[in-house]
Amino acid sequence: MSRYFTAEDGGAAASFDELEAGLLRAYAEQMLELIDAREGTGATAEDLIASAFREGPTERPDDPALARLFPDAYTDLGPDGDAQAASAEFRRYTEDDLRARKRDDAQAVIRSLEALAPEGRRRKTLRLKPDECRQWLGALNDLRLVLASRLEIVDEEDFEALMDLDDDDPRVPLVYSYGWLTTLQDTLVEAMMRSL
């Protein structure tokens, strides 16, 4: 699909055609919907002010994708500790900020792709500054986590097994998207390392 990321001027660059840019944008928009699913819509000014003073959620999300994006902080505190209670306390003070950062990362991807606006099959080069690279890296990681949860990918062996699916299996497009996002993420990391 893409020519992937390369280091450029302290940041990174990659070229995308309209199909690739559209797919990434759609995934980022779906990510925003998923992140905001528990918060609702149509908040008033009073709601926003009140939210600044409320504590965050304490319960682990039911949706497996959200549970991957917002995992428990503690799984084992030894015989005297209560990992569930410690995770709930940690989540209360951190999840809202984590949601905000993930939302900002997805919005940065959308803004970048809107500015790129490739036409037809002609590729256009996206150039990212160092801070934009970090946001893209976060968003690509989040997108991969969501797809991995939907495909029940826990490790590399799970992904390799999915590569052998029959072509008519409805999961095939998601498997290819997961592989593509993985390559984008890997090449962005390499570009960022070269730009140091």
Assess if residue 52 is contained within a domain.
no
Assess if residue 124 is contained within a domain.
yes
In this prediction the pTM is: 0.83
Assess if residue 166 is contained within a domain.
yes
pLDDT grade, residue 1 (50/70/90)?
Answer: very low
Query: Residue 121: what pLDDT?
Result: 65
pLDDT at 155 over 60: yes
> Of 183, 194, 156, 193, which Cα lies nearest the Cα of 24?
183
Backbone angles phi and psi of 124, in degrees to 5: -125, 150
Assess if residue 63 is contained within a domain.
no
Query: Residue 144: what pLDDT?
Result: 97
Query: For the chain, where are the E strands, in sequence order?
Result: 6-8, 11-16, 124-128
Assess if residue 50 is contained within a domain.
no
Q: Which domain holds residue 157?
A: 6-44+95-195
Query: Residue 50: what pLDDT?
Result: 52
Give me the mean pLDDT over the 144-166 stretch.
95
> Of 181, 174, 97, which Cα lies nearest the Cα of 139?
181
Assess if residue 62 is contained within a domain.
no
| CB-based contact 143:28 (threshold 8 Å) | yes
Assess if residue 140 is contained within a domain.
yes
- Average pLDDT over the chain, rounded to whole? 87
List, for residues 59-117, the tens digit of each pLDDT value. 778 889 998 999 888 887 666 678 888 888 888 888 889 999 999 999 999 999 998 87
DSSP single-letter state for residue 155? S
Overall domain count for the chain = 1
Give me the mean pLDDT over the 168-196 stretch.
95
Query: Residue 136: what pLDDT?
Result: 98
List, for residues 41-69, the tens digit of each pLDDT value. 445 555 545 555 556 677 778 889 998 99
Assess if residue 135 is contained within a domain.
yes
pLDDT grade, residue 195 (50/70/90)?
Answer: confident
Sheet strand arrangement including 124-128: 6-8, 11-16, 124-128
List, for residues 117-134, the tens digit of each pLDDT value. 766 668 899 999 999 999
